[in-house]
Structures are given as C-alpha cells and as structure tokens.
Amino acid sequence: MSDVAEMPKVRGRLTKEAPLAPLVWFKSGGNAEWLFEPAEADDLAEFLRGLDPDVPVMALGLGSNLIVRDGGVPGVVVRLGKAFASIEQLDDTRLRCGGGASGILVSSSARDAGIAGLEFLRGIPGTVGGFVRMNGGAYGREVQDILVSATLVSRSGEIEEWPLEKLGYRYRHSQVPQGAVVVGATFRGMRGDPAAIGAEMERIAAAREEAQPIRSRTGGSTFKNPPGHKAWALIDAAGCRGMTLGGAQVSEKHCNFLLNLGSATSSDIEALGEEVRRRVRAKTNISLEWEIQRIGSE
C-alpha cells in the first residue's frame, strides 16, 4: 500500500498519510495511511472491489465518538462527504437519508416534512452511517425504533439493502460487518405538527447544552450504561469527576465525558478512560464497556 499507483482508480479523493486529528472531536491522534472520500456509492463499491482484501477498511463520520490512536490508522479510512448527505422524503412518514447526513439535518428535515418520532436524532452528534452502525440513541429512543432499512457497501464491494431485522440490533451494537460502510438509511416516523416537533427538538438541544460539555474537545458518551445503572453515576461514585491525566480530564459537567484540555494525546485520553474503568471496577465490581470506538496503533 505504499504507492497511489497500486491503489484502485477512484473518482473521489484518495489521500496518503492524511491527518485525522482535525476530523475528530477530540482533535488528537495520528494519520490515516489512506483517506478515501468517494464521489458516490458506486465509486466506493468499485474501489473496495479492487482493493486487496487484506487491507483494513473503516468508515469515519463526524468523528464524534472516536479515539484515533497516536500511531495512526493502517489501511483505508472512508469518509462520506456532501455527496452522501442528501435527504429525500419518500411519503408522509418516511425519509431516505444519505450515510453522511448529520442527526441535526435528519431531524430538521423530518420536522419540515411534519414527520414526528425522529426528534431524538437532534441529540446524537454523528452521521447516519455512524448511528445506524451503533444503534445510536438519546432521550429514551434508539435508531432501531425508527429504521426501516439500511444500504451498505460490503468490504467486497457489493451494494446491499439490509432490512431492520438483519441488523440484529442490541444496545449500541449491530451486525454490520467489519469493513462494510453504511451509505444510506430509510427512517419511519409518524405524522406530526412541525411546530410541536420543533419545540421537542429545541428541548433536546437545551438539555444537551445544559448537561453535556458539547462545546469542549470531547468524544461524547465514553462508556455504555451497564444494565440497571448509569455510567456517569458509577464514575461519580468512584471519585473520578474532574480527574486528570496528562492533558485529558474527566468532565466535571458530565463525568461520562472525557475532555482534551488542549494538549492531550490520544494516549492520555485512552489511559484516563482505563483508569476510570479500573476505579469503577474496584469500587462497584462493575466493568464499564467503552462506547467510544478506539482505532489505530498506539
């Protein structure tokens, strides 16, 4: 993978040794060996068909729920740009959304179309591709509650439509295979009043602003909520609120968020998370699971 000449031809943009820190919320981490921004789904499919099957592939959305390790990411990172951010209203209750569309854009489009039930996407800081893969959720609802089907480009370069049942959703988990890229999804809500939908979205936005350090360099929710518990409460009880390591800190505002205070390496951030896990386990005998994805080499 050392030379552009060895890579499949593309219509989009293929960049060698591309810095990922500017593309992720933590603003830390190393380079992608290759960063591919496809022109459209066919471009991505043809590229993956022609790519050596042993080369790892991963998708990058808004980079909100991600630690890119300092040694960088081997293989190809796929980033879906504006070509994948389109939204089409199919009927009175359904929207077809590109994998690069943000939660804010999807919920706003649903509001304008008078489709209720998608308001919670206003509270998810990511793209359709990311929250379909993760069964993202907020404010009591999850993607599985609204998803009809998702369009995937498999690692072997096949474009496939997966119905909800095939995705095998569990809490923050799906059966989307490693190396596959979610390039679109159809969501279904119900008829609603745009004014009421807008008011609920504003309530969600205000609740996020009040409770979460969303204006900081953060990665969103760090750990999954264990059954019967809230991760933030376990972290608080273990005395971790405000704890620092290097340039990283456990947020004092919401202690299931880690912060880059400005000079943190990804190693600082991940090590702080592991120390939080150790302290919670020592205090409560509960093992917190990472919700944030950690990729690349240290």
User: CA-CA distance, 135 to 23, in Å (whole number)?
Assistant: 22
State how beta strands 181-188 and 244-245 pair: unpaired
Catalytic status, residue 17: no
Number of residues in the chain: 298
Catalytic status, residue 172: yes
Per annotation, catalytic residue among 69, 172, 188, 277: 172
Per the CB < 8 A criterion, the answer to whether 64 and 102 are in contact is no
Residue 141: how many CB atoms within 10 A of its CB? 17
State how beta strands 57-60 and 73-79 pair: parallel
Scanning the structure block, which residue is given the tokens 């509960």?
286
Strands (E), 115-193: 115-116, 137-138, 141-142, 147-153, 159-163, 181-188, 190-191
Catalytic status, residue 122: no
Q: How many angstroms separate the Cα of 195 from the Cα of each of 109, 191, 192?
A: 13, 12, 9
* SS3 per residue for 260-290: ECCCCCHHHHHHHHHHHHHHHHHHHCCCCCE
User: CA-CA distance, 107 to 198, in Å (whole number)?
Assistant: 9
Tell me if residue 215 falls in helix, strand or coil. coil
User: CA-CA distance, 166 to 132, in Å (whole number)?
Assistant: 12
Per annotation, catalytic residue among 64, 108, 221, 266: 221
List, in order, residues 6 or more apart from 182 with CB less than 8 Å away.
Answer: 59, 99, 128, 129, 130, 132, 133, 150, 151, 152, 176
Q: What is the largest CA-CA distance in the chain?
A: 55
**Active site residues per annotation:** 172, 221, 291
